[in-house]
Structure 1
Amino acid sequence: MSPLRRSAGLFTSSVVRVMVLVVVCGAAIAADKPVQDPSVGPAAPSIYPQVHLQQPSRGYRTAPLAVSAAEARAREMIEAALQKRCEDALDFSDMPLRDVVSSLGETWNLPIRIDRKSLDEAGIDPETSITNVAVKGETLRGVLQAVLDDIDLTWIVAGERLVITTKEVAGGALITRLYPLPFGTAKQPVDFQPVIDAIVNTIGSPAAWADQGGDGQIRPAEGGEPMLVVSQTEELHAEVEALLRGMHDRALAEFLDDAGQPRRTPVVRIHRCADKKTRDELVASLAGLCNAALAADGDPAAKVTALGQHIVVQSSKADFQALAGQVVAATVGVRPLPSSGLGEAGFSGQGNAGFGIRNVAVPQPNPQPGNANEAGQGAGAGPAAAGAGPAAAGAGPAAAGAGQAQARAPAPAAAPPAPAPPIYPQVHLQHPSRGYRVALLARSEAEARARKAIDAALRKGLDDVPEFNDKPLRDVVRTLENLWGLPIRIDHKSLDEAGIDPETSITAVGAKEETLRSVLQAVLDGIDLTWVVRGERLVITTTEKAAEMLATRLYPLPLGTANPPVDFQSLIDTITNTVGGPSVWADQGGDGQIRPAEGGEPLLVILQTEAIHGEIEALLRGMHERALAEFLDATGQPRRTPVVRMYRCTDKNVRDELVAKLADLCNASLAGDGDPAAKVGALAENLVVQSATADFHALAAQIVAATVGVQPRQPRPTGNFCGGMGGGSFVGTPHPVPQEATEGQGGMGMGSHAP
């Protein structure tokens, strides 16, 4: 026998031995996997006996910490002064900084100090002249921003004084504050993590927080009222408060009418209570308990009734609903809901492998992150990096090896019992027909009013917009201020750095009914400038500077996407893949962030530039209006014929109760926006809801989900790859559909795994 043939025989023999070893090891690994015991039932609900009297209608209040009563009083006075508006005209043009600070202290009756040491170290003279700052009717916070931004200074609260200092010093001056959880997120069991994730991913840069190498810290405080303890700079504290206040106010809006006054029709909340005796006791005593604690803030008209194995609480008062939810949780116990947020990152196998055995992995009830072992075997049933779902699985050919691999069918898995559908007790009164509304975040009530005025002005068209022929930019800005009654500031520092003179001539043609947004675009595009909203003003700045100035906003989910279980990931993928390009989002190396906010009304918290925010709002508003179109006739008016929705409900008793009560429940809450002609019937094991009103269908869908439960979406099946010898590599991809096991060339190979 020739040496070559003898080598080939030895090689083939080695391949066979290794393939047997790989198959045996694979079977052993599979055998070691824990199998869910079908006899084990669901865990008993946990009891959370903490009941804290909440009165969310009194507003969102943070707690600044102070070392003495005198310091506490001083901080309250400083906070009040920062929000106080001065109606007099103030002109600080060409005034030394020292004189400006003295004037501000006298105007607002507040001690303000200049940190001379930090200014000296930064080479900034207190005699530096302030350029072109003239204000009227603005708060101290807004004036300080206008005065200090152009000379790269800021302010902090130190002890009992407001101090003017450099941004470097302010960035290292951390202070600690206590933040209550926004209304709707403090239900038992309290889940701090989604709120913490929303804060650290959308407030400041990631480097501002300790888990990314910064100094900022955020921790939950449990035991009494659930709170967050946050250590951060003064500037970022203002943004944290704006976000949490925005979430709180957004959740409270359900209890207000269009004029912002307390509503008179009830809001519905549904709580699970399987024990009939406990349910009957709560129906009899819950309203009395809550009203006794709330006194004048209670709701004598509140109703508590039973619906299937649930308690239905109807009240128009947020305070009543908050306390009732805690009393029920403390009495009945609650099970944590499955998270619908972002999942844990999975692993994809990567190793040197030849053609090998491919088979389909049966999805496991508790998928684990996949990896690759030293034999080049990739596995892939686990959460993917972008959310709950299958991780990458080894699949695909690598470089050819020698030898014949044997087909191996997947081992049959014991089918676990079908779980009961999860209950989603979140019911939020929705009025989608009133339009899509984005929540602009503000650090104070004055800033909130200013931002609403700016947003309204940007959309407002004027009958006659003048032409600008060779007019200096500075004069154009003053003209626009007067026409739209809006404070507009030029960012002189960024224009100087870009070599753009505020006296640059502008030529633009006005048009009838043109909005301020359109005029600004026509004026600024030709000189590479743009605008942003900063504080209480609209600011003209460079496009480069605007790209660095990220703002956080809250976006409600469009109609049809907020029904339980909410699929945030699908909507997040749509936004990050179609708006602004991948490079503007953090997962592709950009700065933009997007996170779900659960607990109250489902929202998206998004950190992005002003321009990208405009595109996101246009997308979500378009989706919302498209879904609403089904409820309009050809002329855009509300339709008169009903729209049909169907819901699975196999329990006849619950189905009969919903048929009897659902329409009345919805119409009691919606009042003038309800549908007296709506019908609810049964069809086999389904509920049929007929209504011509979008508001009715939106609320009905949530009540059914809270009462009946809904099945979450099933994960896609994934593929497995067992590799052999060769010089190639494999990177896993999920199989869209199961496939039969196939044969392939294989041999001995070495693999590695990479996250």
Structure 2
Amino acid sequence: MLNSVAGIQSQMSFRSFFSILLLFSITTVSYVIPAFAQFSSGGIGGGGDNNNTATDGTTHKAFASKTFVPLDQQNSSPSLEHAQESYSSLPFSESLAEEAIYRDLKNEISIDAEGGLSLREFAVYFQDASAIPARLDERVLAGELGLDINEPGAIYGSCSGVSAQAALSILLSNVFETPLTYVIKDEVLLITDKQYAADNYRILRFYPLPFTKDTSYTSKLIQATIQPTAWENVGGSSSIVPYHNNLLIGAPLQIHEDIEEALINIERMEGIRHGNPCCRVHHIADEKLRQYLADSLIETCNTTLGDRSDKDAKVSINGEFVTVRSASRPFLVYSEELINAFQTHGSPNGLRTWTDITGKFSRKARFVSLSEGVVEIQLATGEQRSIPLEKLSKEDQEYASKTQKLLDKNADSAKEDPF
């Protein structure tokens, strides 16, 4: 038991070290590096290119050659799934029942096994105490390891006031001098051998990173500080891939728990905690985008968030910076991802990349208007073009329609303003 506690303390200090490193990276990206200056420099990938070249080498009078953004530098659209009151990774393919088990493992539990329990008795005891369906991996424990799952006293000790997952980590750490663990499989919590689980039970999960754009750097920090020998880049079996503003990680359950705990601590260290007022500062080079966010960000977020909205949120402009203040984690997450999406894909009256319906041609331009099925865009050179709405990609058709509605709404509000 003492060894188990010492091991946990060692892990916690290790995680704290990781948290400090990751906090430094997030703070650096958020406050030092100007965030995607495409509005002043001509859109994603640099200045306004006037070469009307298609992917097949031909020319086209309406669109320039397409610019691609590295996958780990892209930002997806804001996600309501990310905008929760507390941080949580997201399932890749788990069932609803398995997701319920993950949630229940975070609940507090009390276990008294001071009298000693066999492995079989412990599985039943834990299921009754936690309401989580639990089973023994008898094929591995008894069949491959030769453990006696009915031997009294295999599990000994007690836990109270800790999460169910912490209690399992403590009590399963040394059974018959064999480290055991658990996995979530086929909608039950399966108690098995730790090494066997690492080799055979690999789980895929998404990790949202709403407060940092540098997913590559974050993934490198995780690989360097969370079980460094477990990753594919050093011959292990666990993998990590940046995807938009998420990380897709394939690893044993215990590695997932370590990563999630570290990311939760990161947010706490930054002051991002539901109910705790927090300010997020964004460098935005485009003056029109700054004003647009100041005018409409709160309404847009609160309308979308519904019962997770924050009527007390504040947005202010300070030079080239926009400050968002809120005590609601859902609001902070959604507003952060919305701002990132605007900066990546373009804002009303900001430069963005437009693509035709075939995907062969693209052009950096500002949206001007949509009227009677025709989109007016202005190139970086100032030249204006008229494009039939149906000639644009589905994404651009939707963007043009939504943006025109927003501009119409702002115009109506301006008419009512007595000042």
Matched, 1:542 2:193: yes
Q: Which has the higher helix share?
A: 2
Q: Distance in 2 between matches of 1:586 and 1:508?
A: 36
Matches within 5 A, 1:487-506: 487-495=133-141, 496-506=143-153
Larger radius of gyration, structure 1 or 2? 1
CA contact (8 A) 2:49 2:64 kept: no
Cα pair distance change 1:336/1:480, threshold 3 Å: same
> Which residue of 1 is the match for residue 389 of structure 2?
none
Separation (CA, whole Å) in 2 of partners of 1:430 and 1:450:
18
* 1:482 matched to 2:117: no
Q: Give the match's secondary structure for 2:149.
A: coil
Give the structure 2 partner of residue 589 of structure 1: 235
Amino acid at match of 1:617: E
Aligned to 2:285: 649
Q: Secondary structure at the match of 2:69?
A: coil
Is the 8 Å Cα contact of residues 487 and 538 (structure 1) preserved in structure 2?
Answer: yes
Cα distance between partner residues in 2 of 1:471 and 1:677: 53
Equivalent residue for 2:351? none
Matches within 5 A, 1:266-281: none
State the partner residue of 1:526. Answer: 175
Equivalent positions of 1:21-60 (< 5 A) are: 41-42=49-50
Displacement of 1:452 in angstroms is 3.0
1:335-380 Cα distance to aligned partner (Å, 9 max, x none): 5540143xxxxxxxxxxxxxxxxxxxxxxxxxxxxxxxxxxxxxxx
User: Against the structure 1 CA distance between its residues 609 and 650, is the aligned structure 2 distance closer, same or farther, given a 3 Å change threshold?
Assistant: closer
Q: 2:266 aligns with which of 623, 636, 649?
A: 623
Secondary structure at 2:102's aligned position in 1? helix
What pairs up with 1:135-534 in 2 under 5 angstroms?
335=66, 337-341=68-72, 426-429=77-80, 432=83, 434-442=85-93, 448-462=95-109, 465-467=111-113, 469-495=115-141, 496-506=143-153, 507-513=155-161, 515-524=163-172, 525-527=174-176, 528=178, 529-534=180-185
Identity of counterpart residues, as a percentage?
19
**Partner SS for 1:467:** strand
State the Cα distance separating 1:571 from its structure 2 match. 0.8
Could you tell me how far apart the structure 1 residues matched to 2:163 and 2:340 are? Answer: 43
Is 2:233 the counterpart of 1:607?
no
**Which AA in structure 1 matches 2:123?**
V
Q: Which residue of 2 aligns with 1:691?
A: 325
CA distance in 2, matches of 1:503, 1:695: 47
| Partner in structure 2 of residue 373 of structure 1 | none
How far off its partner does 1:559 sit? 4.2
Q: CA deviation at 1:695?
A: 4.3
Distance 1:683 1:334, change over 3 A: farther
Render the CA deviation track for 1:377-429: whole Å, top value 9, x for unaligned.
Answer: xxxxxxxxxxx9xxxxxxxxxxxxxxxxxxxxxxxxxxxxxxxxxx9683445
Q: Which amino acid aligns with 1:545?
A: Y
Aligned mates of 1:709, 1:453 — CA distance in 2: 35
In the alignment, the residues of structure 1 paired with residue 191 and residue 221 of structure 2 have an alpha-carbon distance, to the nearest angstrom, of 31
1:531 and 1:539 in contact (8 A); partners too: yes
Give the Cα–Cα distance (whole angstroms) in 2 for the partners of residues 552 and 477 of structure 1: 22
Q: Is the 8 A contact 2:86 2:273 kept in 1?
A: no
* Contact 1:551/1:607, CA 8 A, preserved across alignment: yes
**SS in structure 1 at match of 2:168:** helix
Match of 1:555?
A: 206
Q: Extract unaligned runs of 5+ from structure 1.
A: 1-37, 48-274, 276-331, 342-387, 389-422, 712-755
Equivalents in 2 of 1:595, 1:426: separation in Å? 19
Q: Label 1:631 to 1:39 Cα distance change in 2 as closer, same or farther (>3 A).
A: closer
Q: Once the 2 structures are TM-superposed, how far is the Cα of residue 516 of structure 1 from its aligned partner? A: 3.8
d(CA) in 2 for partners of 1:552, 1:677: 39
Deviation at 1:39, TM superposition (A): 11
Distance 2:266 2:147 in 1: 40
- Does the 8 Å contact 2:82/2:208 carry over to 1? no
Q: 1:434 to 1:644 in 2, by over 3 A?
A: closer
Quickly say closer, same or farther: Cα 1:542–1:614, change in 2 above 3 A. Answer: same
**1:704 Cα deviation after fit:** 4.2
Q: CA deviation at 1:672?
A: 4.6
Match of residue 246 from structure 1: none
C-alpha separation in 1, matches of 2:343 and 2:165: 47
Q: 1:623 Cα deviation (Å)?
A: 1.7
2:181 and 2:191 in contact (8 A); partners too = yes
Q: Structure 2 vs 1, CA of residues 645 and 482 (structure 1 numbering), >3 Å: closer, same or farther?
A: closer
> 1:570: how far off?
0.7
Cα pair 1:451 1:536 within 8 Å, conserved: yes
SS in 1 for 2:175: helix
Give structure 2 stretches of 5+ with no counterpart.
Answer: 1-45, 56-61, 347-419
| Contact kept? 1:586, 1:592, Cα under 8 Å | yes
Work out which of the residue numbers 303, 307, 314 in structure 2 matches 1:668.
Answer: 303
CA 1:460–1:42: 2 relative to 1, 3 Å: same
Residue 215 (structure 2) pairs with residue 568 (structure 1): yes
| Correspondence 1:58-77 to 2 at 5 A | none
CA distance in 2, matches of 1:569, 1:587: 14
Inter-CA distance 522–673: structure 2 relative to 1 (3 Å threshold): closer
The Cα shift of 1:45 comes to 9.4
682 and 334 in structure 1: CA distance in 2 versus 1, 3 angstrom threshold: farther
Give 1:478 deviation, angstroms: 2.8
Residue of structure 2 equivalent to 1:144: none
Aligned to 2:219, what secondary structure does the other structure show?
helix
Deviations for 1:440-471, whole angstroms, at most 9, x for unmatched residues?
Answer: 3446xxxx2331343244334445x3435354
Return the alpha-carbon distance in structure 1 between the equivalents of residues 115 and 325 of structure 2: 57
Deviations 1:490-518 (A, max 9, x none): 22332232232222332513344455434
- Whole-angstrom CA distance in 2 between matches of 1:517 and 1:676: 36
CA contact (8 A) 1:340 1:568 kept: no
CA distance in 2, matches of 1:545, 1:500: 14
Q: Does 642-651 or 525-534 show the bigger shift?
A: 642-651
Separation of aligned partners in 2, 1:458 and 1:698: 24
Q: Distance in 1 between matches of 2:101 and 2:76?
A: 38
TM-score (norm 1): 0.34
TM-score, length-scaled by structure 2: 0.57
Contact 2:301 2:334 in 1 (8 A): yes
Q: 2 CA distance for matches of 1:39 and 1:513?
A: 58
Task: Summarize the Cα distance change of 1:516–1:482 in structure 2 as closer, same or farther, 3 Å threshold.
Answer: same
Cα distance, 1:678–1:536 mapped onto 2, change above 3 Å:
closer
- Alpha-carbon distance in 2 for matches of 1:426, 1:439: 16
Change (3 A) 1:647 1:673: farther
- C-alpha offsets along residues 193-221 of structure 1, whole Å, 9 cap, x if unaligned? xxxxxxxxxxxxxxxxxxxxxxxxxxxxx
1:593 shift after superposition = 0.6
Shift of the 440–695 alpha-carbon distance from structure 1 to 2, 3 Å rule, reads closer
In the aligned structure 2, how far is the partner of 1:569 from the partner of 1:497?
39
Shift of 1:46: 7.4
Give 3-state SS (helix, strand or coil) of 1:587's partner: helix
After superposition, give the CA deviation of every residue in 1:688-717 in whole Å (9 maximum; x if it has no partner): 334234544544444444445599xxxxxx
CA distance in 1, matches of 2:76, 2:197: 42
Q: Deviations over 1:126-168 (max 9, x none)?
A: xxxxxxxxxxxxxxxxxxxxxxxxxxxxxxxxxxxxxxxxxxx
> Is the 8 Å Cα contact of residues 631 and 643 (structure 1) preserved in structure 2?
no
